[in-house]
């Protein structure tokens, strides 16, 4: 066992010690959240031990296609996640903001619920990049969202380098994976019999010091590096970023927008599964006697026809206009607003689109028409 592991060092943690790591996080007051198999898919929920993770699984993904496959391998982090993302824990789909009650006068009661402390187990590079993108929207210099900030500040991240991308992945194109780029407390690379773990913070160092671990040999680190290099070449999709913002914002009247508008259902699946989208609405729920009103924040989508409704009419009344708004914001205006693309290459919008619209193919088609 090493003495006093240092930040940025890499150690080898036997898989039998992973339960000790999870227990250490719970002792520190964290709820350990990770991937589990449920209803023939992968969800993010509470885990307590290594055996809760989806050992032996991979996922077959393509346009409008997701299928879990059980094989004979013994690894726990090979499966590419399903529709859920970590966004649901930091920016919940439904959040109670405050309640207004009428007694002798109207009394506003803010939501005083204590924010949970989560430990995310198995955050991939594209997903961690998505969290950091949402940080830019919710933790701006001139404004911060108090709900998001409280949950984000109490977060522990155990990231995972991705060695087996799925058919709709293109994180290598976006520069967000398969290797995690930073921002974690611990980062894990799974080999056959051990976990290589890079220490990214003082908190991560404290947690790992409670476990029995060994020095990471050059052989193991070389094996991890080769696996990541192989994964970068095994992406199921590729997206060219050449002049991407201007390609979209300078070509708003291309005929291909009409073609994709005919296929799109405006169902909002892509925005609901996207780990970076942050559109929301506020809804009020009043009791029958009008003595109490509860205000909630709920996820919304730019594909919702009512989202772009203003006094006098709808600014984006057609599916074509809503799809164009989504894509040009995600890969165009987002870059100007936040100095980053709004896409991390996770591929969820491709997998969970019911008609199989593929963002990478749409960009290629728009580029081809613009250059014709």
- Per DSSP (E only), the strands in the chain are 10-14, 31-38, 41-46, 57-62, 65-70, 94-102, 106-110, 118-124, 156-160, 186-190, 194-199, 214-215, 280-286, 292-299, 309-310, 313-314
What's the pLDDT band for 3 if we cut at 50, 70, 90?
low
Work out the angle at residue 279's Cα, subtended by the Cα atoms of residues 129 and 138, and round it to the nearest 5 degrees.
50
Cα(89)–Cα(131) distance, integer angstroms: 11
Q: What is the rounded average pLDDT of the residues 127-155? A: 95
Cα(135)–Cα(115) distance, integer angstroms: 17
Distances in whole angstroms, Cα of residue 41 to Cα of each of 68, 83, 89, 348: 6, 8, 19, 13
DSSP state of 150: H
Please tell me which residue, 320 or 113, carries the higher pLDDT value: 320
Q: Based on the number of CB atoms within 10 Å of its own CB, is 21 exposed (0-12), middle (13-18) or buried (19 or more)?
A: buried
333: number of Cβ within 10 Å? 15
What's the pLDDT band for 365 if we cut at 50, 70, 90?
very high
Distances in whole angstroms, Cα of residue 209 to Cα of each of 12, 29, 104, 119, 197: 12, 17, 57, 17, 12
Distances in whole angstroms, Cα of residue 254 to Cα of each of 264, 293, 332: 16, 47, 16
What lies within 8 Å, CB to CB, of 310 at 6+ separation is: none
What's the pLDDT band for 104 if we cut at 50, 70, 90?
confident
C-beta separation of 99 from 107 below 8 A: no
For residue range 31-76, what is the model confidence (pLDDT) as tens digits? 999 999 999 999 999 999 999 999 999 999 999 999 999 988 899 9
Can you say how many angstroms the Cα of residue 237 is from the centroid of all Cα atoms in its chain?
A: 18
Tokens 């002798």: give the residue.
Answer: 104
For residue range 273-308, what is the model confidence (pLDDT) as tens digits? 999 999 999 999 988 888 889 999 999 999 999 888
Cα(15)–Cα(214) distance, integer angstroms: 12
Q: Based on the number of CB atoms within 10 Å of its own CB, is 320 exposed (0-12), middle (13-18) or buried (19 or more)?
A: middle
What's the pLDDT band for 77 if we cut at 50, 70, 90?
very high
Cα(315)–Cα(114) distance, integer angstroms: 39
- Locate the domains of the chain by residue range: 10-93+113-233, 244-280+300-371
C-beta separation of 135 from 152 below 8 A: yes
């Amino acid at each position: 066992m090493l003495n006093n592991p240092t930040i940025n060092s890499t150690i080898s943690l036997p898989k039998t010690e992973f339960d000790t790591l999870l227990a250490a996080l719970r002792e520190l007051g964290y709820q350990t959240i990770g991937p589990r198999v449920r209803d023939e898919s992968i969800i993010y929920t509470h885990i307590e031990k290594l055996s809760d993770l989806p050992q032996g699984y991979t996922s077959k993904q393509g346009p409008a296609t997701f299928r879990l496959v059980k094989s004979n391998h013994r690894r726990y982090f090979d499966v590419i996640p399903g529709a859920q993302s970590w966004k649901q824990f930091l920016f919940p789909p439904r959040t109670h903001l405050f309640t207004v009650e009428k007694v002798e006068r109207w009394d506003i009661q803010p939501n005083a619920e204590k924010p949970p402390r989560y430990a995310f187990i198995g955050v991939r590079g594209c997903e961690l990049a998505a969290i950091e993108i949402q940080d830019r929207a919710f933790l701006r210099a001139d404004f911060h969202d108090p709900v998001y900030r409280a949950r984000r500040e109490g977060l522990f991240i155990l990231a995972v380098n991705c060695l087996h991308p799925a058919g709709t992945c293109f994180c290598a194109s976006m520069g967000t994976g398969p290797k995690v780029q930073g921002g974690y407390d611990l980062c894990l690379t799974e080999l056959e019999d051990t976990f290589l773990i890079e220490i990214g913070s003082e908190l991560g160092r404290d947690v790992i010091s409670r476990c029995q671990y060994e020095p990471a040999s050059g052989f193991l680190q070389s094996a991890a590096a080769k696996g990541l290099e192989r994964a970068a070449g095994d992406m199921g999709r590729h997206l060219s970023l050449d002049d991407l913002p201007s390609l979209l914002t300078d070509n708003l009247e291309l005929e291909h927008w009409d073609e994709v508008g005919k296929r799109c259902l405006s169902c909002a699946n892509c925005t609901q599964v996207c780990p970076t989208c942050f559109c929301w609405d506020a809804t009020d729920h009043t009791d029958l006697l009008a003595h109490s009103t509860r205000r909630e924040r709920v996820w919304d989508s730019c594909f919702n026809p009512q989202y772009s409704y203003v006094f006098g009419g709808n600014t984006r009344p057609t599916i074509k206009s809503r799809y164009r708004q989504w894509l040009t914001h995600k890969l165009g205006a987002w870059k100007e607003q936040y100095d980053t693309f709004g896409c991390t290459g996770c591929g969820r919008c491709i997998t969970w689109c019911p008609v199989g619209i593929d963002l990478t193919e749409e960009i290629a088609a728009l580029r081809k028409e613009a250059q014709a």
